[in-house]
């Protein structure tokens, strides 16, 4: 009886290993990755209306941003990096936006126009 149980266990383990070996393997390193559209950059142009360096935010009255279907408006944006020292309230700027955590729009690049 013990021999029969032992033979059954060996058969199951062997069959399991062979089934796993026969399973197709995928090399994921060769697959093209789909771009993450939520990480796309969008460009805008506007005027700096206010700066809150402590909160790492800037308020910009921007022109329409066509690829986001945004009309011209004034908005506060989080800053990914500190604001360049040469940018002041009233300056015309070009900026790049990305959608960050919690659907918060973040300025990832900004420069004088």
Does 56 map to a domain?
A: yes
Instruction: Report the CATH number that the domain containing residue 108 is assigned in CATH.
Output: 2.40.50.320
Structural domain of 107: 41-112
Does 1 map to a domain?
A: no
How far apart (Å, rounded) are the C-alpha atoms in residues 17 and 67?
A: 53
Residues 71, 73, 79, 82: is their CA dihedral positive or negative? positive
Number of Cβ within a 10 Å radius of residue 7: 10
User: How many domains are contained in the chain?
Assistant: 1
Number of Cβ within a 10 Å radius of residue 1: 5
The model scores a pTM over 0.85 = no
Does 59 map to a domain?
A: yes
pLDDT tens, residue order, the chain (113 aa): 666 565 655 666 565 555 555 555 544 434 444 344 457 899 999 999 999 999 999 999 999 999 999 999 999 999 999 999 999 999 999 999 999 888 889 999 999 99
């Amino acid at each position: 009886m013990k021999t029969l149980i032992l033979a059954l266990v060996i058969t199951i383990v062997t069959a399991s290993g062979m089934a796993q070996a026969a399973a197709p393997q995928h090399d994921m390193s060769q697959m093209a990755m789909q771009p993450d559209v939520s990480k796309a950059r969008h460009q805008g142009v506007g005027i700096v209306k206010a700066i809150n360096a402590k909160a790492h935010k800037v308020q910009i009255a921007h022109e329409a941003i066509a690829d986001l279907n945004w009309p011209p408006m004034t908005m506060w944006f989080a800053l990914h990096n500190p604001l360049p020292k040469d940018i002041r309230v009233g300056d015309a700027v070009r900026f790049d936006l990305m959608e960050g955590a919690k659907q918060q729009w973040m300025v990832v690049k900004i420069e004088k126009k």
